[in-house]
Amino acid sequence: MIAVEDIRIMAIGAHPDDCELKAGGCAALWAECGYRVLFVSMTNGHTGHYAMGGGPLARRRRDEAAAAAAVIGIESRVVDINNGELMPDLYTRKLLIAMIREFSPDLILTHRPNDYHPDHRYTSQLVQDCSYQINVPHFVPLTPAPMKRCVIMYFSDNFKKPVPFTPDIAVDITPVVDKKIAMVACHESQVYEWLPWADGNLSDVPKDAAERYAWLTDKQRQRYRREADLCREKLVQIYGEKGGTCEFAESFEVCEYGARLTEEAKKRLFPFVP
């Protein structure tokens, strides 16, 4: 029998807010189950702003990620590689293998390999390049290799080529959607500043803190409703009639390079799914 606290989930995103946006709801559910959860950002986010940058922004974004993790009591790590400079090279592969081995996850979540952003693509490639060598003892020999293989799954996205995202698991996050929004709201430099500026909507962001949070809540709820609609068929398959009406969801696709997502593994890794 595996103790609850020994089940470990590792989400590996490219930027300090990626894991919260793609898996914050499930992370809240895992935390409620007593699972150990780690969010990793492979870059420091130092260019993600229109006015500030470099070290001050990197430190701000690291602190935002830590604050988001604290909302639900999980762990956070930001790798000090500059935005836009992540490469799927041997040095970074070894760095990631060491991190994965040290945490020893049962499940890894990451981006799919086809994506508009090179940091997303290379994060995905790095995870895939690590997938076999994680368990090779004499590769990165000073960090002991685990005896188990982990399941690897992809975050959802809307990219269609070369192949569209196909959910293998869809999770109703309606009971914890407010926790997810609270995590996302911790990334103030992004959700209230950089992203609205990049979209040409910075003037729409309210100045009052309470109004600003309500504005963000409305936008995020709209986003998670769309995500639920995109995986509605899988939700119905998993939840039955309830799946047709659940309001907010997250979904993930299996990467064939990891361990198989057996029925036993589904029950162990997603205990909140029927």
Dihedral over alpha carbons 97, 132, 35, 227 (to 10 degrees): 100
Is the pTM for the entire model greater than 0.85?
yes
Give the pLDDT of residue 3: 60
- Tell me the two tokens of residue 263: 């029925």
Q: Which residue has the tokens 């004499």?
A: 138
Q: How far apart are CA 225 and CA 173, in angstroms?
A: 10
Identify the pLDDT of residue 13.
98
What is the residue-wise DSSP string for 191-251?
IIIIHHHHTT-GGGS-SSHHHHHHHHHHHHHHHHHHHHHHTHHHHHHHHGGGGGT---EEE
Give the span between the Cα atoms of 21 and 142, in whole angstroms. Answer: 34
Instruction: Take residue 56 and report the two structure tokens written for it.
Output: 């001050």
Contact 248, 172 (CB under 8 A): yes
Cα gap 175→189, rounded to integer Å: 27
Q: Specify the pLDDT at position 1.
A: 44
Q: Sketch the domain layout of the chain as residue ranges.
A: 4-269
Fold of 4-269: Rossmann fold (3.40.50)
What are the angstrom distances between the C-alpha of 92 and each of 2, 54, 96, 99, 158?
A: 32, 21, 6, 11, 27
User: pLDDT 10s per residue in the chain (274 long)?
Assistant: 456 668 999 999 999 999 999 999 999 999 999 999 999 999 999 999 999 999 999 999 999 999 999 999 999 999 999 999 999 999 999 999 999 999 999 999 999 999 999 999 999 999 999 999 999 999 999 999 998 899 999 999 999 999 999 999 999 999 999 999 999 999 999 999 999 999 999 999 999 999 999 999 999 999 999 999 999 999 999 999 999 999 999 999 999 999 999 999 999 999 999 9
* The predicted structure's pLDDT at residue 4: 64
Q: Which residues contact 254 (CB under 8 A, 6 or more apart)?
A: 151, 152, 153, 154, 168, 261
